[in-house]
């Protein structure tokens, strides 16, 4: 049985989610949201709330000792709204327009991942209202700057605030499944070099944008992408293009930069992938001075052992909290758990929302999933922070 489960208030959880969505927090500019979260965490019973100069925030509900520590982790930053209408005016609407059952909450960050943040905080509130006597610490972490690649990382944050977790759960969207894996992802900068000239005399120049077009076309036609039995065929996309000089209408550009993002799987190496790109371009008559390729960022594939204890504990918590069997699954997109967590214990995912709607103009989250996530997190905290002793295996 769970003493705290009855104190999860669905309306309180969803209202908090909407307040979080209203507070814009694009990657690198999360201070306003971190301040709001600090207020909400303190109200929920997290006695120790701290955030650093990067706006990473940590809330701790301390135990009385000799228990195990659970850390729930989310990120507080979002991608820009893009073409999304009403991105920061969350609405409760029928999800059928998105192909989703029941009522949903719309807005940028609703799925990725302010609905989960609300559920994480609300679990603390339920424990407080139930007057739960924790033996181990219950910790909620909100990481900043995860989208732009400037995250300080969970490992550094835990060390800074002297937190030693026994179990860590990423609350990124999993559709309430238990995710144990994601593909790796490497980002490469392509630099095409041309020759600047006046647009009235194009024969004296070499247009770097046109050269980049040929480079991209060559790679798209000749790169053989691997396939994985779980993730399918690897993705490879161009995510941005820019040229130099910028905004100069009278000059042919002498440089063009593009970012190429490539998923990769276990057994592949980002540097070897880069070298394969270079070989393909050489074979297609591109010279070394025409193009440079630089590895900008990479995170490794995640693959947690199916026998890891945290999986069975979440399965038991889910069964008790919402009465459904747990399904083991994986993230299909570029969830960078292996990059921003970098800890020495297994990290699995369990969170509300469908990852396919993250970053899109249709981003939304089912209301019932936010509430169910709060219930599971509450029971999970009871199982780990109350029922487990530090000496338990």
pLDDT in tens, 18-60: 999 999 999 999 999 999 999 999 999 999 999 899 999 999 9
Q: Could you give the count of Cα atoms lying within 13 Å of 4 in the half-sphere of its Cβ?
A: 26
Confidence of residue 391 (pLDDT cuts 50, 70, 90): low
Q: Residue 7 above 80 pLDDT? A: yes
Q: Residue 217 above 90 pLDDT? A: yes
pLDDT in tens, 306-364: 999 999 999 999 999 999 777 999 999 877 787 777 788 999 999 999 999 999 999 99
Query: What does the pLDDT read at residue 148?
Result: 85
Q: Residue 393 above 50 pLDDT? A: no
CATH architecture of 5-181+301-387: 3-Layer(aba) Sandwich (3.40)
Please check whether residue 151 is in contact with residue 33, taking contact to mean a CB–CB distance below 8 angstroms: no
Mean pLDDT of 259-281: 97
Mean pLDDT of 297-312: 93
Closest CA to 180 of 336, 349, 390, 36: 349
pLDDT in tens, 77-121: 999 999 999 999 999 999 999 999 999 999 999 999 999 999 999
Q: Where are the domains of the chain?
A: 5-181+301-387, 184-299
Query: Token digits for 333?
Result: 């997109």
Query: Token digits for 73?
Result: 């982790």
Q: What is the share, in percent, of the chain residues with pLDDT greater than 70?
A: 99
**To the nearest whole number, what is the mean pLDDT of the chain?**
94
User: Topology of domain 184-299, per CATH?
Assistant: Alpha-Beta Plaits (3.30.70)
Query: What does the pLDDT read at residue 252?
Result: 93
Nearest-angstrom CA–CA distance, 117 and 112: 9
* More confident position, 6 or 343: 6
Nearest-angstrom CA–CA distance, 343 and 369: 28
Q: What is the share, in percent, of the chain residues with pLDDT greater than 90?
A: 86
Confidence of residue 231 (pLDDT cuts 50, 70, 90): very high
- Interhelix angle 31-44/115-129, nearest 10 degrees: 20
Q: What is the 3-state secondary structure (H, E, C) of the chain?
A: CCCCHHHCCHHHHHHHHHHHHHCCCECCCCHHHHHHHHHHHHHHCCCEEEECCCCCEEEEECCCCCECCEEEEEECCECCCCCCCCCCCCCEEEHHHHCCCCEEEECCCHHHHHHHHHHHHHHHHHHHHCCCCCCCCEEEEEECCCCCCCCCCHHHHHHHCCCCCCEEEECCCCCCCEECEECEEEEEEEEEECECEECCCHHHCECHHHHHHHHHHHHHHHCCCCEECCCEECCEEEEEEEEECCCCCCEECCEEEEEEEEEECCCCCHHHHHHHHHHHHHHCCCCCCCEEEEEEEEECCEECCCCCHHHHHHHHHHHHHHCCCCCEECCCCCCCHHHHCCCCCCEEECCCCCHHHCCCCCCEEEHHHHHHHHHHHHHHHHHHHHHCECCCC
Closest CA to 112 of 85, 57, 84, 75: 75
Closest CA to 162 of 60, 73, 76, 72: 60
Nearest-angstrom CA–CA distance, 29 and 54: 9
Mean pLDDT of 243-272: 92
Query: What does the pLDDT read at residue 390?
Result: 75
Mean pLDDT of 50-72: 94
Nearest-angstrom CA–CA distance, 338 and 343: 8
Nearest-angstrom CA–CA distance, 264 and 145: 23
Q: Could you give the count of Cα atoms lying within 13 Å of 46 in the half-sphere of its Cβ?
A: 25
Nearest-angstrom CA–CA distance, 376 and 369: 10
The vertex-318 CA angle with 300 and 331, nearest 5°, equals: 25
pLDDT in tens, 157-195: 999 999 999 999 999 999 999 999 999 999 999 999 999
Nearest-angstrom CA–CA distance, 190 and 176: 38
Query: Token digits for 184?
Result: 């790796």
- Interhelix angle 10-22/115-129, nearest 10 degrees: 140
């Amino acid at each position: 049985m769970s003493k705290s489960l009855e104190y999860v208030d669905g309306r309180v959880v969803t209202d908090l989610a909407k307040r979080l969505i209203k507070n814009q927090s694009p990657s690198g500019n999360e201070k306003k949201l971190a301040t709001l979260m600090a207020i909400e965490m303190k109200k929920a019973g997290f006695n120790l709330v701290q955030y650093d100069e990067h706006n990473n925030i940590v809330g701790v509900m301390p135990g009385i000792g000799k228990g195990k520590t659970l850390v729930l982790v989310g990120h507080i930053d979002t991608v820009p709204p893009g073409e999304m209408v009403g991105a920061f005016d969350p609405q409760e609407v029928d999800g059928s327009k998105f192909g989703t059952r029941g009522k949903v909450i719309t807005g940028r960050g609703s799925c990725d991942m302010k609905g989960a943040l609300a559920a994480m905080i609300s679990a603390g509130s339920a424990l407080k209202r139930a007057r739960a006597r924790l033996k181990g610490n219950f910790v909620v972490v909100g990481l900043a700057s995860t989208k732009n690649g400037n995250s300080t990382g969970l490992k550094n944050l835990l060390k800074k605030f002297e937190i030693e977790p026994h179990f860590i759960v990423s609350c990124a969207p999993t559709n309430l499944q238990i995710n144990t894996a994601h593909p790796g992802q490497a980002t490469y900068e392509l630099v095409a070099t041309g020759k600047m000239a006046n647009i009235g005399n194009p024969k004296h120049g070499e247009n770097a944008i046109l050269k980049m077009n040929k480079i991209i076309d060559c790679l798209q036609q000749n790169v053989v992408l691997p396939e994985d039995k779980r993730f399918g065929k690897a993705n490879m996309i161009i995510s941005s293009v820019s040229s130099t000089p910028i905004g100069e209408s009278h000059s042919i550009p002498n440089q063009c930069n593009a970012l190429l993002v490539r998923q990769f799987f276990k057994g592949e190496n980002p540097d070897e992938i880069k070298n394969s790109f270079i070989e393909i371009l050489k074979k297609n008559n591109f010279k070394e001075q025409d193009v440079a390729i630089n590895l900008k960022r990479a995170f490794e594939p995640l693959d947690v052992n199916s026998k890891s204890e945290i999986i069975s504990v979440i399965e038991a918590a889910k069964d008790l909290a919402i009465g459904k069997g747990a399904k083991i699954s994986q993230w299909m997109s570029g969830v960078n758990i292996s990059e921003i967590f970098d800890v020495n214990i297994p990290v699995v995912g369990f969170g509300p929302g469908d990852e396919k709607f993250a970053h899109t103009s249709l981003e939304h989250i089912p209301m019932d999933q936010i509430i169910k996530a709060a219930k599971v997190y509450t029971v999970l905290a009871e199982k780990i922070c109350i029922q487990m002793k530090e000496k338990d295996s």
